[in-house]
Structure 1
Amino acid sequence: MPFIVGLTGGIGSGKSAASDWFAAQGIEIIDADVIAHQIVAKGQPALEQIKEKFGDWVLTAEGEMDRAAMRAHVFAHPNALIDLEDITHPAVREHAKQALQTATSPYVILSAPLLLESAEAGLAKLCQRVLVIDVNEDLQLARAGARDQQSHDKIKAIMANQLSRHDRVAQADDVIINEADLDALYAKLQPLHEQYLQLASTYR
């Protein structure tokens, strides 16, 4: 396994912008969100398990996962989320591990919104360091609302399912406060990139 830096942050924190910057430096990005979509693609074993658990209604006429129906079901039945994650999270971890083993950049970024939450703890355990992109809640609401065109109530519901800022930061090795523009963010990432290169060079 290469030297792995876990990257996380609440909704609207700028985690994706940080991830894109690392990618521009030639660092491979393993994105748990991308993997989560891949594992429930048509014909994948995880999607078949979900159908067996919940019923045929989880599939569209084309045999793909009906995400809107699943979101509504999980919202109405909180325990259903636990059942869903029992299927998807082990598959995400396994695919992430496979991707990490084939990575060739000096170090690798493992990006996951729920890296530190209990259900995703298996991902955090893969990392040598954890980097949190932090931002105040007012900015989270403003940025996420502008980006996703979602209501503040929906964004607050997403935030409620994530760790609090305090708890997330408490578990981080490195924290970047991202409350200015992109240039300011990039300037803060540069020394961390150099640090990670140094750490990776002595890691084995």
Structure 2
Amino acid sequence: MGRSLNPMLSSRVFIATMSVFSGLFLQCSKPFPEGGAVSLLSLASTFDHYIFATSATYNGNLLMAGGGATGIEGADSLCAQAKDSEQPALPGTGSEYRALLIDSGNRVACTSINCAGGSSEHVDWVLRANTSYKRPDGTVVFTTNASGIFLMTAGLNAPLAAAGQWWTGMDSDWMELGPSTCTDWTDTVGNGAFGVGAVTGPAAFADGGFGGDCSIPLSLLCVR
């Protein structure tokens, strides 16, 4: 049979063990030691998704303005530049921000009304599914559904911006608005669909008709 521990020794071992556990408990029970709360909030914000309208404006030839192989690539390049120069306080690098803009095939949101067929209709789409997007001031303006869009007819939570106009190329059902993409954003001739600020309805993305003159400079919507 094994020998029993000396009662006094057992007591000391017990007290020492409890002391260690007590110290660990007290340390772990501090919810955010040494400014941890601020650190966690800061970390969380780095994963937030934002949308902003550029201060800079561009005519419909986004290929010439931004470079690349297509008008969409040109627009993405302009958004990357705008993030770094106009919105440096937003999280992420410029390359994480792309243009909320569609054309006939390089960037497609939906090929049926409100993506009846789901996310498989996307081509190089920029909005994530089931994600909230904020303005630079932190206001959530919309939350996408499983198809990476939202119903424009249901309205935004808040205007995208207080004022302004921006190229979009889309109708209120997320499909291309006829021939209204300034020849896939490579021309200053023709028309381009656009949205406007200070509204929460479909006009924020699709201001009706067949769009504006491609020679007129408008902003871009850039999203992370």
TM-score computed with the length of structure 1 as normaliser: 0.27
- Which protein is bigger by CA-based radius of gyration? 2
Of structures 1 and 2, the one scoring higher in RCO (CA 8 A, sep 6+) is 1
